[in-house]
Structure 1
Amino acid sequence: MTTRTLDGVKFDMPPTAGQIMELADLHRKKLDAAIFSKYTHLGEYGLAQRKEVYDFTRELDENQREQFYKLYNGELVRIADEDRLHPPEAEAGLSKFAILLVLAVVAAVLYSTILTKAMN
Structure 2
Amino acid sequence: MTTTIDGFSLDLPPIKAQIIGLAQLHRKQLDEAIYHNELRLGDFCLAQRKRVYDYTRELNEEQRADFYQTYNSELQRLAIDESPHQHENENPANVKVMIGVLVVIAIVLYFVFLAPVLH
TM-score, normalized by the shorter chain, greater than 0.5: yes
- What is the alpha-carbon distance in structure 1 between the residues aligned to residue 79 and residue 24 of structure 2? 10
Q: 4+ runs of 1 displaced by more than 2 Å? A: none
- What is the alpha-carbon distance in structure 1 between the residues aligned to residue 10 and residue 30 of structure 2? 21
- RMSD over aligned Cα atoms: 1.4
1:12 CA drift (Å) = 1.2
Equivalent in the alignment of 1:45 = 44
User: Among the aligned pairs, what percent are the same residue?
Assistant: 54
1:6 CA drift (Å) = 1.1
Tell me the SS of whatever aligns to 2:39.
Answer: coil
- What is the alpha-carbon distance in structure 2 between the residues aligned to residue 13 and residue 45 of structure 1? 25
Matched, 1:74 2:63: no
- What is the alpha-carbon distance in structure 1 between the residues aligned to residue 2 and residue 14 of structure 2? 9
Matches within 5 A, 1:1-120: 2-81=1-80
Tell me the SS of whatever aligns to 2:71.
Answer: helix
Q: Which moves more between the two structures, 61-70 or 74-83?
A: 74-83
Tell me the SS of whatever aligns to 1:5.
Answer: strand
Equivalent in the alignment of 1:117 = none
- What is the alpha-carbon distance in structure 2 between the residues aligned to residue 62 and residue 5 of structure 1? 20
Tell me the SS of whatever aligns to 2:68.
Answer: helix
The runs of 5 or more residues in structure 1 that have no matched partner are: 84-120
Tell me the SS of whatever aligns to 1:37.
Answer: coil
1:82 CA drift (Å) = 6.3
1:18 CA drift (Å) = 0.2
- What is the alpha-carbon distance in structure 1 between the residues aligned to residue 25 and residue 74 of structure 2? 11
- What is the alpha-carbon distance in structure 1 between the residues aligned to residue 77 and residue 33 of structure 2? 20
- What is the alpha-carbon distance in structure 1 between the residues aligned to residue 80 and residue 36 of structure 2? 19
Q: TM-score, normalised by structure 2?
A: 0.66
